[in-house]
Amino acid sequence: MSLTTREWHFARRPAGLPAPETYRLVERELPALRPGQCLVRNLVLSVDPYMRSRMDDVPSYVPPFQLGEALTGGAVGEVIETRSDEVPLGSWLVHQAGWREHAVVDAAAGRVVDKGRYPSSYHLGVLGGPGFAAFAGLFRSAGFQPGDSVFVSGAAGAVGSMVGQFASLAGATRVVGSAGSAEKVRYLVDELGYDAAFNYKDGPVLDQLRSAFPDGFDVFFDNVGSDHLAAAVEVLNESGRVAMCGTISTYNSAEHDAVPVNAFKIVAKRLRLQGFIAFDHEDLREEFGAQVESWLETGRLTYRETASQGIEAVPEALAGMLTGANIGKAIIRLADDPL
């Protein structure tokens, strides 16, 4: 089948927040399938902070995007043509050839998921990368134990909204989150069941964190870095643990983490700070799926998305997510789920 599609290319490296000139929407004809490949019509695209990091020309755990090339990202597509026995026609494939309407994907680089059991977008959120990062970070990197008290930064986003709920469901004594608006603070407490929450824009994080935990806390799940990490080091209890998931406060800035952390407190309190990347913990994938699906099916997990519509929405959706426009997982819906 010969097909013309639209895809976003990387036109200019941004300084600060990505702007329209960062991207170019390109029409192109897709190549014929080779054995082991399939053609997907993307239903939903993921909008993730690491996409911004990949726009900087610096080495990281994923290589930088190259100028002039098509951008890539997580997506779920419906298979509309296949030359792979493992990927049947009509199935749903989770893959990394997002930022475009259709894609030719190597079957081995995708994962077929149960069609229609959950909305396709769940495989980019609660059952996808963010949910998995929340699970691996909390239970392995932070070594969460029932009875721990937990602070989550970036708590109303895709990862953070899962972390707080997972901690409560697993027996945390107190869960507190920070986020960037009054609406998000209400969402954390009223919908996600956080014990307390604060808006980090209302005053110094350190003061608000001390008020939330007058007796200290045990586990910090950090999505933000900077002032959040510095404050947490002050307030954490002895032998406290930090799962360092991300530093979103720095992604649009040339100065990485300008806020100093009191290193002596880390020593004196015997804190453990553990950076992690979710895909290093694939051995947890089965346990994660079983646990989170069971919480979903028993109605114990609340899940929200902020959806933009259509391929043209990509630049605005990414800038919006980076500046806090999303509650829960940011996605771009390209087509309704076919059932």
Question: Where on the chain is the footprint of ligand NDP (CB under 6 A)?
Answer: 48-50, 129-130, 133, 154, 156-160, 179-181, 184, 223-224, 245-246, 248-249, 276-278, 321-322, 324, 326, 330
Minimum CB separation of residue 196 from ligand NDP in Å reads: 15
CA contacts within 13 A on the Cβ side of 289:
9
Kindly provide the residue ranges of all beta strands, DSSP E only, lying in the chain, ordered along the sequence: 4-10, 23-29, 37-46, 75-82, 92-95, 102-106, 111-113, 149-152, 174-179, 196-199, 217-222, 236-244, 272-275, 305-309, 329-333
Minimum CB separation of residue 39 from ligand NDP in Å reads: 28
Provide the 3-class DSSP secondary structure of residue 30: coil
Minimum CB separation of residue 91 from ligand NDP in Å reads: 25
Minimum CB separation of residue 122 from ligand NDP in Å reads: 14
Q: Which of 175, 135, 173, 134 is nearest to 151 (CA)?
A: 175
Closer Cβ to ligand NDP, 107 or 192, answer by number: 192
Closer Cβ to ligand NDP, 37 or 130, answer by number: 130
Closer Cβ to ligand NDP, 18 or 129, answer by number: 129
Minimum CB separation of residue 192 from ligand NDP in Å reads: 13
Closer Cβ to ligand NDP, 71 or 159, answer by number: 159
- Please, what sign has the CA dihedral across residues 143, 238, 216, 262? negative
Closer Cβ to ligand NDP, 160 or 164, answer by number: 160
Closer Cβ to ligand NDP, 110 or 164, answer by number: 164
CA gap 126, 141 in Å, rounded: 19
Minimum CB separation of residue 332 from ligand NDP in Å reads: 14
Question: Closest CB to ligand NDP belongs to which residue?
Answer: 157
Q: Which two tokens stand for residue 29?
A: 């004809």
Query: Phi then psi for 5, rounded to 5 degrees?
Result: -135, 175
Q: Do the bridges between strand 236-244 and strand 272-275 make them parallel or antiparallel, or are there none, so unpaired?
A: parallel
Minimum CB separation of residue 160 from ligand NDP in Å reads: 6
Q: Do the bridges between strand 217-222 and strand 149-152 make them parallel or antiparallel, or are there none, so unpaired?
A: parallel
CA gap 331, 183 in Å, rounded: 20
Closer Cβ to ligand NDP, 110 or 180, answer by number: 180
